[in-house]
Structure formats: structure tokens, C-alpha cells
Structure 1
Amino acid sequence: MDLLTVVFMYINLGLEHIITGYDHLLFLLGLIIIAERFKSILKIITAFTISHSLTLCLAVLNLVPVYPKWIEVGIALTICYIAVENLFVKTFKWRWALTFVFGLIHGLGFASGISEIGFQKSYLATSLISFNVGIELGQLGVVGILLPILIRFREKNSAYYTIFFRTVSVCIFLIGLYWVFIRLKGFL
């Protein structure tokens, strides 16, 4: 395989992982639904990107162990926590720090997902970077589509947005909790 083929293949795999990774999409929705401004979400998404990139690299280089079943439960728990925080916390000043910590778990999830396919040994760095670029492009696409809609809805209909925000957060929690139980059931 040549370099360009590897780059496009792994960017596509990263995009596919985000687009079909409903748990990551739900987590992302839980993060951005609090948005009042693009700047505040940029800090949160940047923290998530740095942390999941870090653990993805460490896992691919076999410097951190990957336990897929536990990681999947951990990801579901992060979704539940974000939803609960959305409902009860008044300020999201430190959401970026929490997202950084949770991103470490999600990065291990990305590593678990790509482990089924593996990386091109002769292009390990290129494969890893390309996969991560695909993930980022997918996340930016989701944020780029949803964030303007959410911010505009909030500005135009603040009373309805509160109801919408709370309803969506409860739904995110219930789906996350369902995934916790389903994934824990896999241990039995």
C-alpha cells in the first residue's frame, strides 16, 4: 500500500468510527447542548481532542493496556455523568477539565475500535495520525452542524430551550444508563 492510500483509508476509518459510534455522538451532544457561545465549546472540544488523542497514541504503542469491555462501560458512564451534570450544575466553567479526563477513556475506546483492523506497520505514525484526523473531522462536522442550530434555538426560544435541554439531557442519561447495563451484562 502506498502512503496516500494509507492516509485516505485511515481518515475514512476515523470518520466512520465517529459517524457509527453512537456512544461518542451522544457524548458529544451532551457536551455541546450546554453551549451559549462557540468559544466555550471550542475549549471543551479541544480538551477532549487532546486527551483522546493522547490515550489513542499510548494504546496503539502498547504503553497503556486496553480492556474493551471495561472501556465500553466507562464510556457509557461518562455519558450518564455529562447528562446528570447538564441537569444539576449551574456553571460549566470547568467542563473542559472534566471533558479532558473523560476523553482519556474515549481515546481508549477509539483504540479498541481500531484494534480490530490494526494499523499499517510500515506507516504506523501516518496511520495513527490519519485515523485521528478522521475522528476530528467527524467531530467537527457534528459540532459544525449542531452547534449553530442549538445556539440559534437558545437565542430565539430561551424558554423552550430550557425544556428541550432538560428533555434531551434526561434522554441522554437514560440511553447511557441502558448502555451501562447492556455492557455490564456482557461480563456475566
Structure 2
Amino acid sequence: MDIFTVIFMYINLGLEHIITGYDHLLFLLGLIVIAERFRAVLKIITAFTISHSLTLCLAVLHLVPVYPKWIEVGIALTICYIAVENVFIQTFRWRWALTFVFGLIHGLGFASAIREVGFQQSYLATSLVSFNVGIELGQLLIVGLLLPMLIRFREKSGYYPIFFRGVSACIFLIGLYWVVARMGAL
């Protein structure tokens, strides 16, 4: 396999993982539904990217252990927390720091998911970077589609607080369902 095939394959795997990873999509929605400005979301997404890239690399290099079932429960708990914080916390100035911490858990989830396919050992660094690029492209695509609509709705509608709380409540309930279901699988 040549390097360009590896790059293309792992970018596609990263994109596919985000687009079909409903828990990651829900987490991302929970992060951006509170956004008032693109700049704030950029800071949050950057913190998430750095942290999940870190734990993904450490897990792929076998420097940290990966316990898939516990990680899946942890990811569901991060979703629940973000939804609760959306409703009860008045300032999101430190959301980027919290997202950094939660990204560490999500990075282990990415590592768990990629273990099924594995990385091309002769192109390990290229595979890892390409998978991460695919994840980021997927996240940027989702944020690029949703954020302008959410900001416009916030600016133009007096119903945004109701919408925002309703979305956060749904995110919490789905996250809680996943916590219970995933705990049952332990």
C-alpha cells in the first residue's frame, strides 16, 4: 500500500467515525448549542482536538491502557454533564478547559474504535495523523453547518432559550440512556 492510499483511507475512516458516531455528534451539539460566537466555539473545538489527539496517540502507542466498555460509559457521562451544564451554568468562559478534559476520554474512544481496523504499521504516524485529520474535517463540517443556523436562530428568535433548554434536556436523556445501557454491558 502506498502512502497516498494510506492517507486517503485513514482520513475517510476518521470522517466515517465522526459522521456515524452518534455519541460524538451529540457531544458536539451539546458544546455548540450554547455558542454565541464562532470564536468561542473555535476555542472549545481546538481544546477538544488537542486533548483527543493526545490520548489517541498515547493509546495507539500502548502508553495508556484502553478499556472500551468503561470509556463508552465515560463518553456518555461527558454528554450528560455538558447538557446539565448548558442549563444550569451561567458562564461558559471555561468551557474550553472542561472540553479539554473530556476530550481525553473521547480520544480513548477514538483509539478503541480504530483498534478494530488498526493502523498501517509501516505508516503509523501517517495513519494516525490522517485519521485525526478525518475526525477534524468531520467536526468542522458539522460545526460549519450547524453553528451559523444556531447563531442566526438565537439572534432572530425569542424562542431560543426554550429551544436551547429543550435540546439540552434531550441530550441529557439520550446520554443518560447510554450510561445505563453501557453500564449494563459491563
TM-score by length of 2: 1.00
Equivalent runs, 1:130-145 vs 2, <5 Å? 130-145=130-145
Number of equivalent positions:
186
2:166 is matched with which residue?
167
Q: What SS does the aligned partner of 1:91 have?
A: coil
Q: CA deviation at 1:122?
A: 0.3
In the other structure, the counterpart of 1:113 is 113
Structure 2 residue aligned with 1:124: 124
Cα distance in structure 1, aligned partners of 2:138 and 2:93: 25
Tell me the alpha carbon deviations over residues 37-66 of structure 1, each in whole angstroms, 9 at most, x when there is no partner. Answer: 000111000000000000000000000100
Instruction: List alignment gaps of at least 5 residues for structure 2.
Output: none
Partners of 1:43 and 1:142 lie apart in 2 by 16
Query: In the aligned structure 2, how far is the partner of 1:41 from the partner of 1:127?
Result: 27
Q: Paired residue for 1:56?
A: 56
Q: Deviations 1:70-93 (Å, cap 9, x if unpaired)?
A: 000000000000000000000000
Q: Which 4+ runs in 1 deviate beyond 4 A?
A: none
Name the CA distance, whole Å, in 1 between partners of 2:160 and 2:170: 15
- Please give the alpha-carbon distance, in whole angstroms, between the structure 2 residues aligned to 1:81 and 1:48: 15
CA distance in 2: counterparts of 1:17 and 1:181, whole angstroms: 23
SS at match of 1:12: helix
What is the one-letter code of the residue matched to 1:59? A
State how far apart, in whole Å, the 2-side matches of 1:61 and 1:133 are.
18
Partner of 2:11: 11
Deviations 1:140-167 (A, max 9, x none): 000000000000000001x200000000
1:77 corresponding residue in structure 2? 77
Counterpart CA distance in 2 for 1:7 and 1:143 is 23
TM-score by length of 1: 0.98
1: CA distance, partners of 2:155 / 2:37? 10
Structure 1: gaps of 5 or more residues: none
